[in-house]
Amino acid sequence: MMQYLITHFSDFQLACLGSFFLHESIFFLAGLPFIYLERAGWLSKYKIQTKNNSPAAQEKCITRLLLYHFGVNLPVMIFSYPVFKYMGMQSSLPLPSWKVVLSQIIFYFILEDFVFYWGHRILHTKWLYKHVHSVHHEYATPFGLTSEYAHPAEILFLGFATIVGPAITGPHLMTLWLWMVLRVLETVEAHCGYHFPWSLSNFIPLYGGADFHDYHHRLLYTKSGNYSSTFVYMDWIFGTDKGYRKLKALKSFGIEDDPKQM
């Protein structure tokens, strides 16, 4: 497959247009099913919140996302291309070994989570929340596609966390695409609004998932916590998950409480 791509398309076309097409395909294929689950009421026993979003709210999200993706994401991919090329990104054969790919992907996840935590926490300061981050929090009951619904300034600000790892390592394009796919699937899952028996957070230690992030969306900005994107240890280290852990402890004893009081 890679041989066909590099034969018929330039590096620029693959890195920019190819990456954009891959992102859009994975994002909407992963996110759209949760809209239909919510509308049809299927698997509702696994839904974290009982509240549903209206069809109008869902359609608004999709419309804005298309605007942001074409107006912000695509230009960023185009203008960042020279940086990636300068740092050594290439698409030619042979492909890197699985050990190189795995080590780079693990590094990207760890670095992204660290950078995202601090950037996200800064966005919950009063002024930035009011003028920027509140757009993302328009959906107190998130669904998959709301993962990328945000103010353009936030897209650029937190998007840096996603691209900084690949930008400084100059990976093979296939590694970059794999990272993009995994990161998109992770953030869609974290915003999906459902906690299934097969959710990754049930099997991977320190992985946050939908239950962890859904708590964040239900709270006022002054009491949020759970700022991490993928894992939970940053919030644990800095004590920004205390409300979430208290709520989980209460639930383990069969006591339900209002997370806004945490």
State pLDDT tens for residues 90-140.
Answer: 999 999 999 999 999 999 999 999 999 999 999 999 999 999 999 999 999
**Would you say residue 45 has pLDDT above 80?**
yes
219-242 burial code (b ≥16 CB/10 A, e <16):
beeeebbbbbbbbbebbeeeebbe
**What pTM was estimated for this model as a whole?**
0.94
User: Closest Cα to residue 48, out of 142, 184, 149?
Assistant: 142
For the chain, what is the domain count?
1
**Would you say residue 190 has pLDDT above 50?**
yes
> Which range of residues forms the domain containing residue 199?
2-261
